[in-house]
Structure 1
Amino acid sequence: MPRNHRPGPPPRVSVIVPARDAMPGITRAVTSAMEQTLGLSRLDIIAVDDGSADGTAEELDRLAAGCPSLHVVRNAHPCRGGAGGPRNTGLARATGDFVFFLDADARLAPDALRRMVAMADQNGTDVVLGKMVSADGRGVPKAVFRHNQLRTDAHSCHAYATLEPCKLFRRSLIERLRLRFPAHLHHGEGKPFTAAAYLNASGISVVADYDCYHLGPGRASPGLADRVEAMRPLFETAARHTRPGIRRDTVMRHHIRRELCPALRALAREDETEARDRFLPELRRWALAHCSDALFPTLSAPERLMVHLLRTGRFDDLLSVVRNAKRDARCGHLVEKGSVYWLHPFFRDPDAEVPDACFDVTDRLPVRHHLAGAGWHGRSTLRVRGRAAIDGLAADPEEDRAELVLRRREARDEVRIPVEVTAEDDPAQFAADVDIAAGDGGTPLRPGVWDVFLDVRAQGISRTVRFGNRHDDGLDIGTARRVVAAGPGLRARVTPYFTSPYRNLSLDIGPAPRGAPCEVTEAVWHPSDKGTLVVAGRLLPPGTPARGRLLRLR
């Protein structure tokens, strides 16, 4: 069906829907685009039928008959790959300021495009991610959608973890980069497109407070050959659109961890002999070309070992490592000269000849920590109670003393407070006293936000972690807000709180309200005496006697 051109200004969004044998989901997908609160006059819906034989084409014609904003395009020569070809066909006809790619088995929430366009307009961003949800258990990214992000980039948020193209793209960016989908791929055709857009966008926005995009059931898991074929343009795209250095290493690390290493694990299956002979040499070339010396140490120890064996062409050893990964994960650790090593069978095996760097886990040992409570002890001391230990390393309570570390934001101030072990049978259980009046070398803690860390030690190994995000259910530290004595004649307002979105513990220290003789903690109407307001509170500074005091309202 030929494209009908409408008079008037160009639409805000071109919604491109590739479809091949997409019944019955195509009806719901296209209808969700037609029902957008942005308005049909501001939409250009392009549905591309790619040789369907199940009635999809006829259903699209039926929907288009009642909607002038819906245009149906039939590919004269259906693509043999995935959705890339039909998407390219739609892109060639798009006229909107923005483009959104809608899968034929998914749907948009009614207000999705209006919110996403507003986010792009207000912040001048080229790509907008709308929160993705799934009703059937299909995995969706979560970290990037913890909160709205007005303007960020691919290196500063978790956006790169979602490379599917179900996003809002500024069309001028697409045309400037001449972006198109690899039409020959059956799997992952959207990832290089999205990666290139991310890496060149003037900014990225995230709409996280509204369920914008409802995923469909998805396609069947791809075969190994399709997975490896899809990796090639990903590495090529990352290399083409980044310069050597930290940013390129960050992107390549993602692809090595999420694409390359899983492919190596799949190749180790006994029935993949032919695929191993075909793909391992190519995967080795990618590892040599794209895993820099600076990137290599940032991989986990198992990943470093696999990549090392791949880069050195030791394919048999690589397959052995992958096949025995579950067994070897239970191997212990060696602590030596301030470093911790994974005792893998290849560690210092003279026949294996693998460098120690492949087994160094010093900076990767997890710290188990838990906040049990935070409450006032005395006039100006906040007592923090909890538990902390380095996983897999036994600590000596006399030698390995942990510290609570306070770091003031936007400054280099740091205060270290030794913790006290509070249980003889559990050296990980501790309490630390934060003295607001004298905690900084005998002087009061300065005003500002102080983030709370733990420096945990065992066998000469030290690990510092942010503290507080693991705590007892129902723990409310907001009740610990207080005005306290902060030195002779000085008072400070101290508010312990959990940060958003990560729920770590911080202290907000500021000047006490000037001239405030008390702090009101509760004000309620008397249950039986109408017109009587009952006010409860405490006099300041703490310890001031209440006898002879009057409450005056003005």
Structure 2
Amino acid sequence: MSTPKVSVVVPVYDPGVHIEELIASLLRQTMAAGEFEVIFVDDGSTDGTGERLDALAAAHAHISVVHIPNSGWPSRPRNIGIERARGEYVQFADNDDWFGDEALQRLYAYAKENDADVVIGKMAGRGRGVPKELFRRNHPRATLATAPLIDSLTPHKMFRRSFLMDHGLRFPEGKRRLEDHVFVTAAYFLAERISVLSDYVCYFHVARPDASNAGFRPFDPAGYFGNLREALDIVDAHTEPGALRDRLHRRWLRVEMVGRLTAPRYRDAPAAWRDEFFAEVRSALAERFAPGVAAGLAAPQRAVVALVEQDRPDAVRELARWESAVRVKASARVTGELEITATGELFGADGPLTFLHTEGGDSLSPPVTGVSAEVLDVTARLKSARMDVLVRRRGGGGEEFVLPATVTVERVAVAPLAPLAPLAPGASGAPGASGAPGAFRVVHRTVARLAPEAINAGRNAGRWEVKARVISCGWTKETELSLSLTMADGSPPVLREGAGAPLLVRVKRRVRRVLAR
């Protein structure tokens, strides 16, 4: 029996019909069936999935099933899959996600081209977030110091099997949280080469409609933060105190702590659970993070940290409610052949979001007191703010690609600029700052070029929507634009403005045709 190029390892527990998209995507792979194997590790399913997989394996020689007693978490099934795998590379998948048709072929080729120990394929999210900046371009030789790898800690990646075996890399077993963080963080430090493939969507990360994915289940805050500390320990073991360690630690502070404190799930949780989670965040802040960790966050996130340190959970919830109203409004028009000019800005609950300019710089003005002007400073963030124009496939797949563009930012005064003393330490801007001296809005303008051949490496059949995404001051907000595009054989492509008109991209004999619906 020949050695397969890739072993796909899938832990399975009671997915019901949600596993069917994954199965279909594996059977559609452009990599020949004889070149890869699929190992389903059934973790004691009780919904008939075991029998479904046995029948699948009986019909396809490259698919096998391992049945084990329920272990309660994906780690043991994944570890068993590593031991059973025969492939040169191991690709992990969850039973409710699925692959792009060319994913295995492209990932393996990219791994061989770059002699990579780890390959991360572009992900799309259906109902859940996925990294954005990491997949802005291909990274043949990415490191924790040169690319935002730390933004991607889920296990849905391709690993050289000999790399896993040589280093004894396995998932921590037992019913616990953040086991993938421990595994992936260790792999990042141990790998000689990591490659990121961003020009084709390889993996579709799906949230079930009933939110029954393991990552969405309720958890014990004390146990959760104990698991989080294990991931931080790995970072500390491989870095010295300083900028790199602070930047890596910042990922857990931003996502697992600040992000959860400001999420609707936290605001709507029972009071006793909120109190326990808040206390764990305070403890972790005090014992594990150097001052530079929080200092590198965006102003809204720094404000949350300051309020946590002041032991003000009610103020954190008020700030979260204010943030939840922040959104982007944008419009677009056709300004040239395949050229889009978009204009947009951030809005709050009461209108355009405003900032305050003082002699000390620019700052936010959220409706909370007791937060210093230094914490609320957005001077540097506003200088790097931008609005992307992107296309996203309609129909729920979630594939999206940022278009090449030129971006500009304009500050528009909403009140006559007048001298204003810097905010005193311990003070913050007050609500209603839009009428204060020094208040201004930020308007984004982006000129983007639509290149069908660059959308999903030309594998772009289907309907697409055009969106604007503003990235500013720690916020990433987006909205749909009303545009249509027509491209016919023998005629130059034409962009048209139209309310809600989707993009339709058809590929035939390598000639791309884009038609308005």
TM-score by length of 1: 0.58
Q: Does the C-alpha gap of structure 1 residues 32 and 317 become closer, same or farther in structure 2, counting only changes over 3 Å?
A: closer
The correspondence for 1:300, drawn from 298, 306, 310, is: 298
Q: How many residues align?
A: 382
Q: Where does 1:209-224 land on structure 2 (aligned, <5 Å)?
A: 209-218=199-208, 219-220=211-212, 222-224=216-218
Q: Deviations 1:261-306 (Å, cap 9, x if unpaired)?
A: 1222358636522113322222112112333222222212222222
Q: Which residue type is aligned with residue 280 of structure 2?
A: E
Q: Deviations 1:174-204 (Å, cap 9, x if unpaired)?
A: 3344333344447654343223323432222
Cα separation, 2, equivalents of 1:387 and 1:13: 45
Q: Does the C-alpha gap of structure 1 residues 367 and 50 become closer, same or farther in structure 2, counting only changes over 3 Å?
A: closer
Contact 2:107 2:197 in 1 (8 A): yes
**What residue in structure 1 maps to residue 190 of structure 2?**
200
**What residue in structure 1 maps to residue 109 of structure 2?**
118
User: Is 1:311–2:282 an aligned residue pair?
Assistant: no
SS in 2 for 1:287: helix
Q: Does the C-alpha gap of structure 1 residues 130 and 338 become closer, same or farther in structure 2, counting only changes over 3 Å?
A: same
Q: Where does 1:163-242 land on structure 2 (aligned, <5 Å)?
A: 163-185=153-175, 189-218=179-208, 219-220=211-212, 222-225=216-219, 229-230=223-224, 232-241=226-235, 242=238
Q: Which structure shows the higher helix fraction? A: 2
**What residue in structure 1 maps to residue 245 of structure 2?**
248
Cα separation, 1, equivalents of 2:66 and 2:121: 26
**What residue in structure 2 maps to residue 552 of structure 1?**
none
SS in 2 for 1:116: helix
Q: Does the C-alpha gap of structure 1 residues 111 and 343 become closer, same or farther in structure 2, counting only changes over 3 Å?
A: closer
**What residue in structure 2 maps to residue 262 of structure 1?**
259
Q: Deviations 1:100-149 (Å, cap 9, x if unpaired)?
A: 11222333344322221221122121111223346x56544443333333
**What residue in structure 1 maps to residue 71 of structure 2?**
79
Q: Does the C-alpha gap of structure 1 residues 312 and 48 become closer, same or farther in structure 2, counting only changes over 3 Å?
A: same
Q: Where does 1:81-480 land on structure 2 (aligned, <5 Å)?
A: 81=73, 83-133=74-124, 139-185=129-175, 189-218=179-208, 219-220=211-212, 222-225=216-219, 229-230=223-224, 232-241=226-235, 242-243=238-239, 244-266=241-263, 269=267, 271-315=269-313, 317-319=315-317, 321-322=319-320, 335-344=357-366, 352=370, 354-365=371-382, 388-390=409-411, 470-471=446-447
SS in 2 for 1:471: strand
Give the greater-gyration-radius structure (CA): 1
Q: Which residue type is aligned with residue 470 of structure 1?
A: T
TM-score by length of 2: 0.62
Cα separation, 2, equivalents of 1:173 and 1:291: 31
Contact 1:23 1:56 in 2 (8 A): yes
**What residue in structure 2 maps to residue 61 of structure 1?**
54
**What residue in structure 2 maps to residue 431 of structure 1?**
none
Q: Does the C-alpha gap of structure 1 residues 339 and 207 become closer, same or farther in structure 2, counting only changes over 3 Å?
A: closer
Q: Which residue type is aligned with residue 237 of structure 1?
A: A
Q: Which residue type is aligned with residue 233 of structure 1?
A: N
Q: Give the superposition deviation at 1:66.
A: 3.4
Cα separation, 2, equivalents of 1:302 and 1:369: 17
Q: Give the superposition deviation at 1:216.
A: 4.3
Q: CA RMSD in A?
A: 4.1
Gaps of 5+ in 2: 327-347, 388-405, 418-436, 451-468, 470-517
Q: Percent of counterpart pairs with the same letter?
A: 32
Cα separation, 1, equivalents of 2:111 and 2:311: 47
Gaps of 5+ in 1: 1-6, 371-384, 397-457, 475-501, 503-554
Q: Give the superposition deviation at 1:39.
A: 3.5
Cα separation, 1, equivalents of 2:182 and 2:39: 22
Contact 1:185 1:230 in 2 (8 A): no
Contact 1:367 1:390 in 2 (8 A): no
Q: Give the superposition deviation at 1:394.
A: 6.5
User: Is 1:17–2:10 an aligned residue pair?
Assistant: yes
Contact 2:14 2:46 in 1 (8 A): yes
Cα separation, 2, equivalents of 1:52 and 1:78: 7
Higher relative contact order (CA 8 A, sep 6+): 2
Contact 2:315 2:368 in 1 (8 A): no
